[in-house]
């Protein structure tokens, strides 16, 4: 008799995964890889980097499963891990930029982000999505995180506050500021 993994709760899947059932963790990944990817893509603005961060997020989650509280929402828990991975990525990127600029022979800095639409984006909707994603990725991290968690991933204000370790009022304020800054950036493009 085989288990129907899709019918199990996140807590049950976590328990089975800790017990060594690889299919249980595979089901967790199947359920949450798209939301984690959207979060990482919004934070980085780059699909390839986001895919790497999704992998890093699930590797870290697998290692941290014994500390997972089955009463918490798995999506919020994974979002917290993904946000931390995005923060790490941002720090690494800043260091790489610094050293690449410091080590350039001619003192000229090369463009880091290609602001033009990808050549294979034939559909206007896809181009608009890319434009918005790039604009979101340029927001300060504290505004970007709140915007992605609330507006894109649909976490509640309380869940977002828990993920980020801030008050609900801080979430509300940051979300307002993030939307205003995003609108400014989109109008400027």
Of the options 3.40.50.720, 1.10.3720.10, 1.10.1200.10, 1.10.1740.10, the CATH number for the domain spanning 1-112:
1.10.1740.10
- pLDDT computed for residue 119 by the predictor: 44
Global pTM reads 0.66
CATH architecture observed for domain 118-189: Orthogonal Bundle (1.10)
pLDDT digits (tens, 9 = 90+) for 80-100: 999 999 988 888 776 666 555
| Higher pLDDT pick, 3 / 168 | 168
- pLDDT computed for residue 67 by the predictor: 92
What ranges do the domains of the chain cover? 1-112, 118-189
Q: What is the mean pLDDT of the chain?
A: 83
What does each C-alpha distance from 114 to 57, 96, 111 come to in angstroms? 26, 17, 7
By three-state DSSP, how is residue 176 classified? helix
Number of other residues whose CB lies within 10 A of the CB of residue 37: 17
Q: What's the CA gap between 130 and 40, in Å, rounded?
A: 14
Q: What's the CA gap between 152 and 120, in Å, rounded?
A: 24
- pLDDT computed for residue 97 by the predictor: 62
Q: Does pLDDT of 106 surpass 80?
A: no
By the 8 A CB rule, do 42 and 137 touch?
A: yes
Q: Which contacts qualify for 161-166: CB closer than 8 Å, 24 or more apart?
A: 162/72, 162/76, 162/80, 163/76, 163/79, 163/80, 163/83, 164/80, 164/83
- pLDDT computed for residue 95 by the predictor: 64
């Amino acid at each position: 008799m085989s288990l129907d993994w899709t019918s199990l709760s996140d807590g049950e899947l976590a328990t089975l995964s800790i017990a060594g059932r690889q299919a249980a963790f595979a089901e967790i990944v199947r359920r949450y890889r798209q939301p984690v990817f959207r979060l990482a893509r919004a934070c980085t603005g780059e699909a390839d980097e986001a895919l790497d961060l999704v992998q890093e997020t699930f590797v870290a989650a697998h290692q941290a499963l014994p500390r997972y509280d089955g009463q918490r929402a798995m999506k919020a828990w994974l979002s917290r891990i993904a946000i931390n991975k995005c923060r790490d990525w941002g720090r690494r990127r800043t260091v790489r930029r610094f050293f690449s600029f410091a080590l350039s022979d001619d003192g000229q800095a090369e463009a880091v982000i290609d602001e033009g639409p990808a050549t294979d984006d034939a559909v206007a909707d896809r181009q608009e999505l890319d434009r918005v994603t790039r604009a979101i990725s340029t927001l300060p991290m504290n505004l970007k995180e709140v915007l992605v968690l609330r507006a894109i991933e649909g976490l509640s204000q309380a869940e977002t506050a828990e993920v980020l370790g801030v008050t609900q009022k801080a979430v509300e304020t940051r979300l307002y500021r993030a939307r205003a800054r995003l609108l400014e950036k989109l109008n400027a493009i």
